[in-house]
């Protein structure tokens, strides 16, 4: 699933590392607060946006500063809420 870190008008691709003890994403940009490169981010307070994407506050692992907004857009036919209902085991009649 493609993920981006949105900072102002900029949009940076995130490489997700979910095998580590603390999952994080790696972004090829510099932390605006402490200057570390590459920037490692973790998402907090995830929410569904427009029923087509997830957004979370991106926090820098290096210093804990807010780095931007993490946006993930999974493939879906009917929207995230409908996919979650169907995949969660509830039968749907259309």
Per run of 10 residues, the mean pLDDT along the chain (length 94 residues) is 90 88 90 94 92 93 96 84 72 60
Range of the domain at 77: 3-87
- Sequence-distant (≥ 6) Cβ neighbours of residue 86 within 8 angstroms: 78, 92
Please tell me the distance from the alpha carbon of residue 51 to that of residue 45, in angstroms, as a whole number: 16
Report if residue 94 sits inside a domain: no
Does residue 93 form part of some domain? no
How many other CB atoms sit within 10 Å of the CB of residue 68?
22
Q: How many domains does the chain have?
A: 1
pTM for the whole structure: 0.80
What pLDDT was estimated at residue 67?
95
Residue at 92 is within a domain: no
H/E element, 80? helix 80-87
Answer whether residue 53 is part of any domain.
Answer: yes
Looking at residue 94, its pLDDT comes to: 61
C-alpha separations of 64 from 36, 47, 82 in Å: 12, 20, 34
């Amino acid at each position: 699933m493609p993920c981006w870190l949105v900072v102002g008008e900029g949009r940076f691709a995130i490489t997700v590392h979910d095998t580590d003890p603390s999952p994080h994403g790696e972004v090829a940009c510099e932390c605006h607060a402490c200057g570390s490169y590459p920037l490692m981010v973790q998402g907090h307070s995830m929410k569904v946006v427009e029923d087509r994407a997830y957004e979370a506050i991106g926090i820098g692992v290096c210093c804990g500063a807010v780095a931007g907004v993490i946006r993930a857009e999974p493939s879906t036919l009917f929207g995230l809420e409908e996919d979650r209902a169907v995949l969660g085991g509830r039968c749907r009649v259309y």
